Structure 1
Amino acid sequence: MSKPAKTAAELIAMARAELKVHADCPEGMVISVIRDGGSWEFRASADGATVAKPGYPECVAMLVQIGDHLAKQYDVAE
């Protein structure tokens, strides 16, 4: 049985909503969806000033956990 598909934008919106609930993330973090064969993961990027802000490493770690959870539930739509 295949998983339901969501667009990258939908998955990123879901991740941002989860991050707002669980972490105090600095503005400026860019989230993208990276496909890896049959699976996918989130990737975070930001400029140096944003990376240096308090909470950024924790937000990236939380994003990885959220991505692991969502990747088990959803595929990325083409």
Structure 2
Amino acid sequence: MGKPIKTEAELIAMARAELKVHSDCPDGINISIIRDGDGWEFRASAEDATVAKPGYPECVAMLVQIGDHLSKQYDVEG
């Protein structure tokens, strides 16, 4: 029996909710899902002005941790 399946939008919404709780992220961060074989991970991207803001590197690091956690619990649809 496999893991529960979520859509990309559901997983990204879960990540955004968790980021709000755990860190003070600047606005303007785009989150996408990259599929890797049987797994997946989050990718963050932003314009240069957002990348330069305080808290951006910590936010990306937190996103990686959240993605690691969620990818063990859920598969992505498609």
Q: TM-score range by the shorter chain?
A: over 0.9
Q: Could you tell me how far apart the structure 1 residues matched to 2:46 and 2:56 are?
A: 9
Q: Match of 1:31, SS?
A: strand
Measured against aligned partners, the alpha-carbon deviations of 1:9-55 in whole angstroms (never above 9, x if no partner) come to 00000000000000000000000000001000000000000000000
Do residues 50 (structure 1) and 50 (structure 2) align? yes
Identity among equivalent pairs (%): 81
Structure 1 moving runs of 4+ over 6 Å? none
Unpaired segments of 5 or more residues in structure 2? none
Q: Could you tell me how far apart the structure 1 residues matched to 2:33 and 2:8 are?
A: 6
User: 1:40: which partner in 2?
Assistant: 40
Q: Could you tell me how far apart the structure 2 residues matched to 1:33 and 1:11 are?
A: 9
Q: Could you tell me how far apart the structure 2 residues matched to 1:9 and 1:59 are?
A: 19
Do residues 19 (structure 1) and 8 (structure 2) align? no
Unpaired segments of 5 or more residues in structure 1? none
TM-score normalized with structure 1 length: 0.99
Do residues 71 (structure 1) and 71 (structure 2) align? yes
